[in-house]
Structure 1
Amino acid sequence: MTKRAYKYRFYPTPEQEQLLARTFGCVRFVYNAVLRYRTDAFYQRQEKIGYVGANAELSRMKKTSETEFLNEVSCVPLQQCLRHQQTAFKNFFDGRARYPNFKSKRHRQSAEFTRSAFKYRDGQLLLAKSKEPLVIRWSRQLPSEPTTITVSKDSAGRYFVSCLCEFEPEELPITPKMVGIDLGLKDLFVTSDGIRTGNPRHTAKYAAKMAKAQRALSKKKLGSRNRAKARQKVARVHAKISDCRMDGLHKLSRQIVNENQVICVESLKVKNMLRNPRLAKSISDAGWGEFVRQLEYKALWADRQLVAIDQWYPSSKRCSACGHVMDKMPLHIRAWTCPDCTTKHDRDVNAAVNIKAAGLAVLALGENVSGMGQVPLSSSR
């Protein structure tokens, strides 16, 4: 069995909206207060506070008259936020992330509930401290009873509930097709079969609408209700762009996984590439990292194989016909002719063919081949 999150939108009643607002506020307050407590303890007394100490601090806060309002909401989301904070510290000390940041009320708000803090019965979800079930727009049935749920509110004011359930992934029938994928900006990706997907450029599509909303926001008085409304309009445009991007990536990744048994991609360091000021916006809009992430877990569920080759493999400079490697290949050169075998290449298609060949070689030999390396993303179960 595998765990999978199913996300749905719901529409809270006025009472539920007030309860969720208090819950989000208490979760944010506890997270920030305990983070400050742990930070000060280390810098002032060189004392390291773990999860047990953080939980003790939460118990002390509940007994204090100044913070007794924490008892008005369920205790489960407060404890869960401390567990998440402990995970953030572990990732920081292991070198996988930066130091934990304080939470802001203007960004996405969330609260996690375990089984002791919610009830799921006959397709209805009831939260602790709430008298009525959530009005959820069920787009699909849950495969099993959820083990945990996460209620969230985004910057655009929309409410979502994410249900973590156990499900049995359905393996797709074996197919002989294999593909190499070259990620790009002119086209989101080009396959070794010569198929181009194009680039929808969602940010550019909504640039005029975004600029209009941001100009209106800049003219509003700080702290006014009109400024809060204008800020939410900007957030709705951002949400529209994000939803369109995610929808397109899900459709493309699902199509690639359904049609191919082996998928070969590049292991790009997207964070490092974003340091280029000329391409950062376009790279972020393309969503390369999210696309590869979707390919990874969907390939694992469908019993497909995803192979990532070394980022330094010269896929664009290598001739896919004879193997000759060019000294330089600037980005403005989209087509070139091999000086050895005189084969004419399309830059992107040639790179995709090389990525496919390199991925298959790594998959067959299981080790580095001619400077290539396999990045273990997913494999057959």
Structure 2
Amino acid sequence: MARSTVKRAFKYRFYPTDAQAAELSRTFGCVRLVYNKALDERTRAWYAEQRRLSYTDTSAALTAWKRTEELAFLNEVSSVPLQQGLRHLQTAFRNFFDKRAKYPRFKSRKKSRASAEYTASAFRYREGQLTLAKMARPLDIVWSRPLPEEAVPSTVTVSRDATGRWFVSLLCEDVIDAYPATGQAVGVDAGITSLVTLSTGEKITNPRHERRDRAKLARAQRELSRKQKGSANRERARRRVARVHARITDRRRDFLHKLTTRLVHENQVVVIEDLTVHTMVKNHSLARSISDAAWRELRTMLEYKCAWYGRELVVVDRFFPSSKLCSRCHTLAGTLPLNVREWTCSVCGVTHDRDVNSANNLEAAGLAVLACGAGVRPQRESSRTGRPAKKQETQRATAGIPSP
């Protein structure tokens, strides 16, 4: 059985003491300050002098900042998270220059994620106990699942969410056994009423986690709007809103993990459609439902799980007319509005369920790609004649491992 070694993050909840919480909160604030100050320096150097600053330049500037009376408090926290913040800024600029992201933005105290990253020189992990730099006691971690045998964390990321919960993420090397080959393939059509429809004909209902808690969320938000800004009551009300959001997010992620694990376990080949979610949410009538469905997160999970367990993930071009193409005779139908859930082929007379037909076409297109590099997107001529394309450039998902 094939085995692969991957970098894998293991996330746990922990309960800090008052002293540890205060130390970590100071660290979060210093990381945010250094990031923002370095971003300001790099922006000013470019617009004022047309000069690019590198990570090395900002690291030297950080040393100079620590020597000033105004920023001397930066010496009170571990230097490693501050340096890691500068490295994250360097990555953000690299993504910007490579046109993979927008220009880096300043971190907000209220909106940005409160986190700090520690490398191996800034923590000690021995016998199941993790002690961070500048701390005398190990963290009280709830080990909900064991780390891999003889695993040594290379990076530790500590974070605090909007509800006040504390988490620690340990990045380790893990050896994963590939699943046994099944020889089966499945087309997966994403939707709103049915979260996914499989080419086997099975429809998995969308749990609609946000809708289930919408009344509770609205009530909590109304209470928050009535509280005086800056008061303790407003902070408590904000926490209640955050807890509702966290409950929705946790349930959604748990459901998607179980669904994607099942799909990867049962099928050798998984075929999905390349959906541009950021464009689709511009439809204000469907934006809330599309966001609740979390199609992007579904695809991300399928990508790294297929890579881990030796499965093949094929992503079909978004312009492939999977819904309008008859899966029996391959005739391309005309206009098919979203409210039409069933349609009958004018050539062979077969009545199709829109979602099942789409999943069947996706499966056939994915298998054709793997077998002979056949196309998954029709040429312009084929759309006029009603026949599928003969050949077209293939688009596949690149397998990736999510960052901790």
Residue in 2 that maps onto 1:375: 395
Q: Tell me how many residue pairs correspond in the alignment.
A: 379
- Structure 1 residue 279 displacement after superposition: 1.0
Residue in 2 that maps onto 1:62: 66
- Structure 1 residue 374 displacement after superposition: 3.1
- Structure 1 residue 91 displacement after superposition: 0.5
- Structure 1 residue 327 displacement after superposition: 1.6
After TM superposition, the runs of 4+ consecutive aligned structure 1 residues lying more than 4 A away are none
Classify the secondary structure of the residue corresponding to 2:349.
coil
- Give the direction of change, closer, same or farther, for the CA distance of 1:237–1:68 in structure 2 (3 Å limit): same
- Counterpart residue type for residue 115 of structure 1: A
- Counterpart residue type for residue 376 of structure 1: R
CA contact (8 A) 2:316 2:362 kept: yes
- Identity across matched positions, percent: 54
| TM alignment of 1:333-352, pairs within 5 A | 333-352=340-359
Is 1:179 the equivalent of 2:183? Answer: no
Residue in 1 that maps onto 2:372: 365
- State the Cα deviation string for residues 46-70 of structure 1 (Å, max 9, x = none): 2211111111111111111000000
Aligned-residue RMSD, C-alpha? 1.1
Residue in 1 that maps onto 2:133: 128
Classify the secondary structure of the residue corresponding to 1:249.
helix
What TM-score does the superposition give when structure 1 sets the normalisation length? 0.98
- Structure 1 residue 240 displacement after superposition: 0.7
Is 1:314 the equivalent of 2:321? Answer: yes
- Counterpart residue type for residue 143 of structure 2: W
**Unmatched tracts of structure 1, length 5 or more:** none
- State the Cα deviation string for residues 202-224 of structure 1 (Å, max 9, x = none): 11111111111111111111111
Distance in 2 of aligned mates of 1:150 and 1:210: 30
| TM alignment of 1:276-295, pairs within 5 A | 276-295=283-302
- Structure 1 residue 368 displacement after superposition: 3.2
Classify the secondary structure of the residue corresponding to 2:322.
coil
Is 1:356 the equivalent of 2:366? Answer: no
- Counterpart residue type for residue 395 of structure 2: V
- Give the direction of change, closer, same or farther, for the CA distance of 1:160–1:272 in structure 2 (3 Å limit): same
State which of 110, 113, 116 in structure 1 corresponds to 2:121.
116
State which of 82, 88, 97 in structure 1 corresponds to 2:86.
82
- Structure 1 residue 372 displacement after superposition: 5.2
Residue in 2 that maps onto 1:252: 259
Classify the secondary structure of the residue corresponding to 1:31.
helix
- Structure 1 residue 367 displacement after superposition: 5.2
CA contact (8 A) 1:189 1:196 kept: yes
Is 1:237 the equivalent of 2:244? Answer: yes
Report the more deviating stretch, 71-80 or 99-108: 99-108
Residue in 2 that maps onto 1:28: 32
CA contact (8 A) 2:96 2:104 kept: yes
- Counterpart residue type for residue 100 of structure 2: R
Residue in 1 that maps onto 2:380: none
Residue in 2 that maps onto 1:273: 280
CA contact (8 A) 2:55 2:90 kept: yes
Report the more deviating stretch, 182-191 or 270-279: 270-279
CA contact (8 A) 2:192 2:290 kept: yes
Is 1:16 the equivalent of 2:20? Answer: yes
Is 1:140 the equivalent of 2:145? Answer: yes
- Structure 1 residue 140 displacement after superposition: 1.4
- Structure 1 residue 373 displacement after superposition: 4.5
What TM-score does the superposition give when structure 2 sets the normalisation length? 0.92
CA contact (8 A) 1:80 1:112 kept: yes
Distance in 2 of aligned mates of 1:337 and 1:26: 63
Is 1:228 the equivalent of 2:228? Answer: no
- Structure 1 residue 376 displacement after superposition: 2.5
Distance in 2 of aligned mates of 1:36 and 1:189: 45
**Unmatched tracts of structure 2, length 5 or more:** 377-388, 400-404
- State the Cα deviation string for residues 23-63 of structure 1 (Å, max 9, x = none): 00100111111111111111122221111111111111111
Classify the secondary structure of the residue corresponding to 1:141.
coil
- State the Cα deviation string for residues 173-199 of structure 1 (Å, max 9, x = none): 010211000010111110000111101
CA contact (8 A) 2:316 2:396 kept: no
